[in-house]
Amino acid sequence: MVQSIVPEIIRESVTNLIKKGERVDGRALDEYREISLETGVIKKAEGSARVKIGNTQIVVGAKPQIGEPFPDTPNVGVLITNSELLPMAAPNFEPGPPDERSVELARVTDRCIREGKVVDLEKLTIIPGKKVWMIFMDMHIVDYDGNLFDAAVLGCLAALMTTKVPSTTIEDDEVVIDYEKMVPIPINEQPLMCTMAKIGGELVVDPSLEEDDILEARVSIGIRADGSICAMQKGGSVPFTHEEVLKAVGIAQEKTKELRKFIPQA
């Protein structure tokens, strides 16, 4: 992936605005852009969602498949998260195997969903030690306008909450799949993620593309419904102070409360 080159002049004007508590697009420092979420957008996927934060747009599809559990967790289903920063989404995204940015997005999303205990993976066991449901969750990033993390977690959560698998029964040690009887996968928790950029020494929520390009550092924090923390990831080459980290946790707890209204009703 080729780095965007941001003229110094843009950096300065964005930074100076933020220092004054303002943003180029008129938002408050802790304000999200417009968010929209649709589920069930892909009929061929057993679960799906299209999420937009500002102009950032991600289509998520979840596809279950019967497979074998990992040897060390014989009674636990498998969740596999993949992301594609499509070359259509930005002029500097290139075709090819996922680069480090795409890998980071997939892994952070995966940890937030997994450690946030979204899916009750043990209930995805079909035959203990032998057959479990594997859920492949693919994120297709089609338009990139900053802050992929929050959109990714919201989209994956929504896709999983609407995912159904065929009911199964065991007859003579064989799995019988009933596609007529689709059942929702068991959902436990609903963690969400809030990303903040550090620009001009301030924390700004939901960085836009322009802000993303010039940010000094970034922190994404996953928060469960009860306010507890399930995931965290710093990015960028400028440090955070101890105080900034604690402040960021507080902001994330507040803002994910707001985000919760976009979660589809179970």
Partner 1 sequence: MIIILTSKSIGNNDKGTLTTSSTKKRRDGRDFDELRPLKIEAGVLERADGSAYLEIGDNKVLAAVYGPRELHVRRLLKPNMAILRCRYNMAPFSVEDRKRPGPDRRSVEISKLTAEALNPAVFLEKFPRSTIDVFIEVLQAEGGTRCAGITAASVALADAGIPMRDMVAACAAGKSDGQVIMDLSEWEDKEGEADLPIAMMPRTGDITLLQMDGHLTSDEFEQALDLAIKGCQIIGEEQKNAIKNRYGD
24 binds partner 1 (CB under 8 A): no
Binder of partner 1 out of 42, 148, 204, 259 (CB under 8 A)? 42
Residues forming a β-bridge with 217: 198
Place of tokens 């066991």: 125
CA distance 252 to 223: 7
**What is the per-residue binding string for partner 1 in 180-219, x denoting contact by CB under 8 A?**
---------------------------------------x
Place of tokens 């417009």: 34
- Cα–Cα dist 193/12, whole Å: 28
Q: Contact between 155 and partner 1 (CB under 8 A)?
A: no
Strands 229-235, 47-53: pairing is: unpaired
Nearest approach, Cβ of residue 244 and partner 1 (Å)? 8
Using the 8-state DSSP alphabet, how is residue 122 labeled? G
* Site pattern 90..119 for partner 1 (x: CB under 8 A): xx---x-xx-xx-xx-xx---xx-xx-x--
Each residue of 37-70: b (16+ CB within 10 Å) or e?
bebeebeebbbbbbbbbbebbbbbbbbbebeebe
x/- string (CB under 8 A) for partner 1, residues 212-251? -------x----x--xxxxxxxxxxxxxxxx--xx--x--
Residue 55 sits in the site that holds partner 1 (CB under 8 A)? yes
Residue 166 neighbours by CB under 8 Å, 6+ apart: 177, 178, 179, 180, 181, 182, 183
Is 76 among the residues that bind partner 1 (CB under 8 A)?
Answer: no
CB nearer partner 1, residue 18 or residue 113: 113
Residues that bind partner 1 (CB under 8 A): 2, 41-45, 48, 55, 57, 59, 61-63, 65, 82, 84, 86-91, 95, 97-98, 100-101, 103-104, 106-107, 111-112, 114-115, 117, 136, 138, 140, 142-145, 219, 224, 227-242, 245-246, 249, 253
